Homo-oligomer: A and B are copies of this chain.
Amino acid sequence: MKTGTTGNNKFLKELNETYILELIRSNKQISKADLAQLTGLSPTACGIIVTNLLEKGYISEAGIGISTGGRRPVLYELIPESYYSIGVDIDVDFVRFILMDITGQVVYRDKFLSKANYSAAVYIELVEEKIKQIIHRYKIEEGRLLGVGVSIPGIIDNLTHEVVFAPNLGWERIDLENMMSGTGSFPIYVDNEAICSAICENWIGCCVNQRDFVCINMKSGIGSSIFAGGNLYRGCSGSAGEIGHIMVDPNGPKCGCGNYGCLETLASSRAMVEKAQKQIKQGLIADLTDIDSITVDDIISSAKAGNEATRVILIEASGYLGLAVANLINTINPSKIVLGKELDKFPEDVLEHLKNIAFAKALKYPVSRVEIVTSELGEDTSALGAAIIPLKKLFGYQI
């Protein structure tokens, strides 16, 4: 029993330190007296923990607070340049990088073009090289990088953390965490791209304090992630939120998964691009001519410039997305649905159409409690969320 008790005490000590660190973060500046009051720990215990945190370099004295009777208290705050975190978003078109300091501020962001036919090994080599450059450029000392979060457009196994399947990268059963673990003396955390976006929206975006929300991202595929009761909901093996293959039209086209009328065959970037290419061939879209290089951004720009044919492509896709959103409203009963990646660039009237379909097709009661919004953080949400993973771990949050 003795060993067990000692072990527990040590564990509790670590928990207390984590909790104090989180209180310093969330309060921005705070005194030992307030820490004691908020934690219920004795002032002496708080003092010891604060000294530890000062020694480890996480925090510094921030100045003198307002007196509540006695001596004016010393305030403590996080040192922004003390510890860092890196987020990497590996996707088909780009690989994005975020360097974040311990306070959550973005210090650096960058991206480079990637190609769908890159193997996992090529991605890893490029990503590792870039991480080394960032560490060198920002003079991040050994032990001061809290970790690297990596966002992947695919299913990640809950238990093994393997990439089970990332169809648009052509990856299957890739143990990225293990393959990258030699990159440096910091942990690697691999997670799904929609989950990374949800972590981002919940930490610094439009879902701070939201307990039940869904993030839907559209890129080449369509994915979503669910926060249930204040925590990420991953399902029993990590694939919860995979709405791309929900049937929205039984007479729809055949999908790569073998079924017909999956959401992705009717509403993904790829589906819209293919539809536009056909119409360009038929001479139906005058302002788009370069069939091979067309992207969904071109379709959106064309629709925004007033082209009716491209607008119809977006409207049709948004109608199917509206059906999927209605499903989620009924099944999940979220307080918020956040549309991200390409979706936040959609023209206003197209987004209105999506919302109208969703609200008309779902039950009135959950509709009355939900808000559908677009992300305000653009295409970086997954890279940001990936960078937030090591921070959440440091501050004692469940991932």
Contacts and interface: CB of A to CB of B under 8 A. Distances in A.
Interface of A: 1, 5, 8, 37, 40, 155, 164-165, 211-212, 224, 226, 228-229, 231, 233-243, 245-247, 249-250, 257-259, 323, 326-328, 330-335, 360-366, 369-370
A335 to B, nearest CB: 4
Contacts of A326: 246-247
Contacts of A360: 258-259
A364 B259 CA distance: 11
Contacts of A328: 331
A235 B37 contact: no
A44 to B, nearest CB: 15
A40 B323 contact: no
Contacts of A246: 326-327, 330-331
A259 B323 CA distance: 12
Contacts of A362: 245
A220 B38 CA distance: 51
A164 B368 CA distance: 12
Given A245-B362, A246-B331, A333-B242, A237 B369 contact: yes
Q: Which 10 A-B residue pairings sit nearest by Cβ, starting from the closest?
A: A235-B333, A236-B335, A240-B333, A212-B236, A237-B369, A239-B333, A228-B228, A228-B233, A239-B366, A242-B330
Given A233-B229, A233-B233, A259-B360, A239 B327 contact: no
30 contacts: A1-B37, A5-B40, A211-B236, A224-B331, A226-B331, A228-B228, A229-B231, A229-B234, A233-B233, A236-B369, A237-B333, A237-B335, A237-B365, A237-B366, A237-B369, A238-B333, A239-B365, A241-B333, A242-B363, A245-B330, A245-B362, A246-B326, A246-B327, A246-B330, A247-B323, A247-B326, A257-B364, A259-B360, A327-B327, A327-B331
A323 B314 CA distance: 26
Report copies per complex: 2
A20 B335 CA distance: 37
B236 A334 contact: yes
A185 to B, nearest CB: 32
Given A212-B236, A229-B233, 20 more contacts: A155-B365, A228-B228, A228-B229, A235-B366, A236-B333, A236-B334, A237-B335, A239-B330, A239-B333, A239-B363, A240-B333, A242-B330, A242-B363, A242-B366, A245-B330, A247-B327, A247-B361, A259-B361, A328-B331, A331-B331
A250 B319 CA distance: 12
A75 to B, nearest CB: 21
Nearest to A259: B361
A350 to B, nearest CB: 20
A259 B358 CA distance: 12
